A and B are shown apart, each in its own frame.
Chain A
Amino acid sequence: MDELIRILSYFVGIAAFLGLNLAYLGWVERKGAGHIQRRIGPKDVGPYGLLQPLADGLKLMSKQLVVPDNADRLLYMSAPVLAMVATVILFVTIPWGENLVPREFDYGLIMIFAVASAAGLSILLGGWASGNKYSLIAGTRAVSQSVAFEIPMLITAITIVMITGTMNLNEIIRSQSGMFWNWNVFALDKSILMPISFLVFFVCSMAEINRAPFDLGEAESELVAGYITEYGGMGFGLFMMAEYGNMMIGASLTTILFLGGWQCPFGLFPGPHWFLLKMYFLIWTIVWIRWTYPRTTLWGLLNLSWKYLIPFSLVNLLVTALFIKVF
């Protein structure tokens, strides 16, 4: 019975946390974009536009769901739901604090990759089911991109697994305890390439969640709005929320693998606050990059993965193995 209550309270807690974050990350992005472009951003609804997400949500929910004539009705309706479900499942193994894990799972790292790769299917289905050429092209683009970047991301994650010897996310964090130079980013004694592989992982996670400058799936100047062109109302809302959720997951995963998760930089009072601090910092960095750099081309993007990141991550794997063997 205790277990049941635990599961239920985590479920409610995650749902509330997720809902709040997905709504307000939109606000953060619009406000950030505004200030980066010398505007104010949302300001009318509530103080500093803080009630804007509520207004947006009401508007999206009250809109009519229009299904285009050419669309495959069933798949068209289920694609956004699938995207959102996959995103929510990803939060099951994230260790927010030492004892604040919904489910401590020995294969947490693999589980995140497994479910995230399945989420790519939802974009593809959404793009196809819309019955629109732009959506279809965008869907194939988004997926070819996430398949390409999954490889260096997985290989980089494997180097971390080699160093820590576990795939349990909480154990990975525990192995980075103490001062901040024990974090995997600075662990030069474990592999000399660690800071660069941190960057590789971060870039890959950005490409994986289709964020600018890699948001070729919704390149509005070429493809209207990409795979969400035909979606209105809450269908669009779910895709948007799934994107923000994936952004949170990408930032959390980078935090866990490289920045010591809930560990304090100075070995004092570790806890969820450090995790959230690091995660929000990374999320802000992602937003910042989006509004600073222009979009790349598809070929530039695929070349970056296949010609630079994959060879580099393979070299990184070898160097890490060498370090483990020699030292």
Chain B
Amino acid sequence: MNPSLFSPEGLAGLIFLILIAVTMFGAVVATCSKRLIRSVTGLAICFVGVAGLYYFLNSPFVAMMQLLIYVGAVCVTLAFAIMLAEPNEAKVARKITGLSGGLAALCGGAMAYALGYAAVHGEWMAAATKINDGSVKTIGVNLLTQYSMVFELVSIVLLVAIIGSLVLARQGRDEE
């Protein structure tokens, strides 16, 4: 059964494909461009595509958080770090030898095959029930009951990261 392009299902499928294309395009730009700042831009495009996918899959809250945290905070921080550190633009990554290209293709192909195999043959869980009933509340309740352990562990990870960055900054200061 192929829905026609202008039926709601057809349009939804088209939007899904566009979002995937945006995500892939961003990812390719992020990995292939020579200038670091363009890579960051590609990463931002990729994140926007992923946020669009979340929205498409009925999780608007997660989509908004993806935008707020990944595009608004992570990408901005990365761009900031690159500008402050001013890496030498002229020093392009060293020439790739012939063998490594083939090796990369092999690894990539193996991973793609594994993922595809898992996707086709794996047993899928039933689609999550729609949590659109003021889902912030649902998310909050779940975070503080069922997933409270994960929630706390994440905060410990963040604490470690903060302390680590403080230690690094401190060492830099002592040298001067």
Contacts and interface: CB of A to CB of B under 8 A. Distances in A.
Interface string B127-160: 0000010111000000000000000000000000
A99 B44 CA distance: 34
A118 B64 contact: no
A169 interface: no
Interface in A108-157: 110-111, 113-118, 120-121, 124-125, 128-129, 136, 139-140, 143-144, 147, 150
Contacts of A110: 61, 64-65, 68
B89 to A, nearest CB: 10
A72 B38 contact: yes
B41 A147 contact: no
Interface in A73-95: 74-75
Dominant secondary structure at the B interface: helix
A208 to B, nearest CB: 12
A107 interface: yes
Contacts of A105: 60
Interface of B: 35, 37-38, 41, 44, 48, 60-61, 64-65, 67-68, 71-73, 75-76, 79-80, 83-84, 132, 134-136
B80 A140 contact: yes
Contact of B64 (A111, A129, A144): A111
Contacts of A139: 83
25 contacts: A72-B35, A72-B37, A75-B38, A106-B132, A107-B60, A107-B64, A110-B64, A114-B68, A114-B71, A114-B72, A117-B67, A117-B68, A117-B73, A118-B71, A121-B71, A124-B76, A125-B41, A128-B79, A139-B83, A140-B80, A140-B83, A143-B76, A147-B73, A150-B72, A166-B134
A184 to B, nearest CB: 19
A167 B136 contact: yes
Contacts of B44: 118, 121
A77 to B, nearest CB: 13
B60 A147 contact: no
Interface of A: 72, 74-75, 105-107, 110-111, 113-118, 120-121, 124-125, 128-129, 136, 139-140, 143-144, 147, 150, 166-167
Contacts of A114: 64-65, 67-68, 71-72
A135 to B, nearest CB: 11
Contacts, number: 78
A309 B135 CA distance: 30
Nearest to B47: A118
A128 B135 CA distance: 39
Contacts of A118: 44, 48, 67, 71-72
Contact of A125 (B37, B72, B136): B37
Contacts of A128: 37, 79, 83
B36 to A, nearest CB: 10
Given A117-B67, A117-B73, A124-B76, 7 more contacts: A72-B35, A75-B37, A106-B134, A107-B64, A110-B61, A118-B48, A124-B80
Contact of B84 (A72, A120, A140, A166): A140
Contacts of A106: 60, 132, 134-136
A195 B42 CA distance: 42
Contacts of B71: 114, 117-118, 121
